[in-house]
Structure 1
Amino acid sequence: MSKVNKVVLAYSGGLDTSAIIPWLKENYDCEVVAFVADVGQGEQELEGIEQKALASGASQCFIADLKHEMVADYIYPSLKTGAVYEGKYLLGTSMARPIIAKAQVECALEVGADALCHGCTGKGNDQVRFESTFSALAPQLKVIAPWREWDLTSREALLDYLAARDIPCTASLEKIYSRDANAWHVSTEGGVLEDTWTAANQDCWVWTVAPEEAPNTPEFVTLGVQSGEVVSVDGESMSPYDVLTLLNDKGAAHGVGRIDIVENRLVGMKSRGCYETPGGTIIMEALRGVEQLVLDKESYQFREELGLKASHLIYDGRWFTPLCQSIVAAANSLAAPVTGEVVIKLYKGQATVVQKRSTNSLYSEDFATFGDDDVYDHSHAEGFIRLYSLSSRIRTLNKQKQS
């Protein structure tokens, strides 16, 4: 092992990172600083985590509250682009990784560390997301990825490793599902989901109620949108984080935001996951509802193109790249007039925009009416259509001359 003096580990308190702390000390003969990111995964996940890190051998444990910044500076800008990965996934895990890795780098520079470490496996996307951010922000720091180095290849081996060193761990031998949670979403993988012919059962969902068990009476929520950002709920102004947490509660109660997908991982394999994004689903519907009123055809099409490209950049861990930041800048420009108000109906797993209005709306009832009007001359359409289809007309005429 190359010489390392001090390493900052992205620490979750789970089995893997609990074993990584003593493994780093033994194999790199270095000081280990645990870094914990609070991204809204819940108090239960964070309870006693500092004591657990120190008991595992960390010299220090830093806990950074990143919840508000994550929603305001990462999730809200991503939403303006319209980023949805492979048509359905609202990028719940992906959106949290840039800010976690960035804060980890900042911690490392502050404590004078010469290395960074993460507990991502060699099969997943997160190793790329973390290390791409490390490279973009602090390429001089060494990166250690234990899962690509050690021979602890099973949950049982990790538990035995900790037990042999008298390091306390509350993890059990069996872990049916792999879960990731933050303020934006909860993901569930593994277990019965590894067979794509097996339907997800209730154990695969931890946040939202089953749509068929949701209330029989719909709930209507009014969202205020300002320049592509939801700024109020039912007339009350709120911060981005507070908007999200409130809508999470409302959406989860109605079974909103569930998807069960097989996605293409960056590393080449496919994986299946059940994702729950109740508040995010509501916010996305609200923004798209106002966009429909405000953006002209070409602008809306371009925003869709931005969203498609952004979804892959975010999923692939390329947030801190010139291209991604350029896309976000373009989305901000397009979102400037996206201001208005929408009413969304929450009912049996669906979030549906039922009312929408905007002072910047391009929709005109006078122009759109099917009744008599004096603002649109139908005869004008003939010239437009002839010019619009001119190339097709010329092409066919040429073929007719040649035949």
Structure 2
Amino acid sequence: MKKEKVVLAFSGGLDTSFCAKYLTEDCGYELYTAIANTGGFSKEELKSIEERAYKLGATEHASLDITQEYYDKSIKYMIFGNVLRNGTYPISVSSERIFQAIAIINYAKKIGADYVAHGSTGAGNDQVRFDLTFQILAPEIKILTPTRDMTLTREYEIDYLKKHGYEADFKKMEYSINKGLWGTSIGGKETLKSNQTLPESAYPCQMIAKGEETLTIDFKEGEIAAVNGEKYDDKVAAIQAIEKITEKYAIGRDMHIGDTIIGIKGRVGFEAAAPMVIINAHKMLEKHTLTKWQQYWKDQIGTWYGMFLHEAQYLDPVMRDMEAFLQSSQQNVTGRVIIDLKPYRYILVGVESDFDLMKSDFGEYGEVNKAWTADDVKGFTKILGNQMKIYHSVLNKNKK
């Protein structure tokens, strides 16, 4: 009898290693494993994960590189929208999951899989992101989640793998680290408390820079065009170049406290040197090149866009509407931003742009006006205050 095919989203960690062995040994499925790389894995790491998959019984393993797609369909718009969840977190790892889920389910459809599986537990956001994406894009393919459904302990999974002849170093690391193109998340015992922070040693990138340096980022219609004067057509490479420069200053670190999709509060540390510098540099350029109301509505749209992306709503058509708005808003966001890098911090020095709205013939703030007279301002102020004057006049009459 022909075995049914299952595709497992495989990272090589304990949960997905257990799932791989369980799905082949106990369930008798023909196992296909796949990892969707969004820029967080080296060639050596991907090779190691592939070897692990075959040792666990995979018939075939696929490494799906979706880094460019992740930039084109997510990071670009997060930059346009200056997306920082709760004003703090550039939704580094959580924004990747939807695109990983899309890649996995497309691979499952390509090989004609009967099932798709993931190793998420029942306590986090990722289970929703994977399930929802799978259900929408391939409702005919059944979802298997052994770790969640069996409510397994770490000890049970390790013991199971040992009994089935699979040995690996599953010693629990003191810190859980997830690295990607758009930043790194860090979880540990401190993030489970409300009154503690991560120690210096928990961060993958240490402060090794000596002295200070100036970084320039050129934007063209909202996208990175050059770094320190070097032009980049490849936007992924541009982000990586900025990361290489900024990470040695140990900047972009913080603690994110947020509301999860499943309704509980969550806390995670992160370091995102390049994303934080890029977003804040981009926002500064926008302050000079966009009107007041463009900035206002971009803030609203950017906040909603980030929230929907975080909460697995990427496939809702309203996201395409928001992306169209964000794209349109970038027509004049072109220019250079100058940043001073210092240990553990950075300073946005200023901008140079042909679209700088401060460089106009109308006047200089606090200095001189060139487009109106003193009487014009007196009349404007009188009309501007009409509604407030009427309100207070009525209020005073009714107090008598």
| TM-score bin (small chain) | over 0.9
Q: Say whether residues 1:389 and 2:391 are aligned partners.
A: no
| 1:173-232 deviations in Å (ceiling 9; x for gaps) | x332222111111111122332232332123211242xxx653x2211111101111121
Other structure's SS at 1:186 match: strand
Aligned partner letter, 1:137: L
User: How many percent of aligned residue pairs carry the same amino acid?
Assistant: 27
CA distance in 2, matches of 1:274, 1:385: 48
Equivalent in the alignment of 2:318: 323
Aligned partner letter, 1:146: P
Q: Which runs of 5+ in 2 are unaligned?
A: none
Equivalent in the alignment of 2:218: 224
Tell me the CA shift for residue 61 of structure 1. 0.2
Other structure's SS at 1:49 match: helix
Contact persistence 2:254–2:269 (CA under 8 A): yes
The 5 Å alignment of 1:59-98 reads 59-98=59-98
Other structure's SS at 1:321 match: coil
Other structure's SS at 2:329 match: helix
Equivalent of 1:233 in 227, 230, 246: 227
TM-score, length-scaled by structure 2: 0.93
The 5 Å alignment of 1:45-56 reads 45-56=45-56
Equivalent in the alignment of 2:376: 380
Tell me the CA shift for residue 37 of structure 1. 1.5
Equivalent of 1:186 in 179, 184, 187: 184
Contact persistence 1:15–1:169 (CA under 8 A): no
Contact persistence 2:184–2:272 (CA under 8 A): yes
Aligned partner letter, 2:103: A
Contact persistence 1:208–1:256 (CA under 8 A): no
| 1:14-69 deviations in Å (ceiling 9; x for gaps) | 11111101212345432121001222223253232111101101111000112232
Q: Which runs of 5+ in 1 are unaligned?
A: none
Equivalent in the alignment of 1:267: 262
Tell me the CA shift for residue 271 of structure 1. 2.0
CA distance in 1, matches of 2:203, 2:74: 25
CA distance in 1, matches of 2:106, 2:368: 65
Q: 1:260 to 1:362 in 2, by over 3 A?
A: same
Equivalent of 1:307 in 290, 302, 323: 302
CA distance in 2, matches of 1:21, 1:90: 32
* Two-structure CA RMSD over aligned residues (Å): 1.9
Aligned partner letter, 1:313: F
The 5 Å alignment of 1:165-204 reads 165-172=164-171, 174-204=172-202
TM-score, length-scaled by structure 1: 0.93
Equivalent in the alignment of 2:106: 106
Other structure's SS at 1:92 match: coil
Aligned partner letter, 1:33: Y
CA distance in 1, matches of 2:320, 2:370: 46
Contact persistence 1:82–1:306 (CA under 8 A): no
Contact persistence 1:55–1:168 (CA under 8 A): no
| 1:109-161 deviations in Å (ceiling 9; x for gaps) | 110012211111111111111222223322222112222212422x2211111
Q: 1:379 to 1:47 in 2, by over 3 A?
A: farther
CA distance in 1, matches of 2:194, 2:394: 53
Q: Say whether residues 1:149 and 2:145 are aligned partners.
A: no
CA distance in 1, matches of 2:365, 2:197: 46
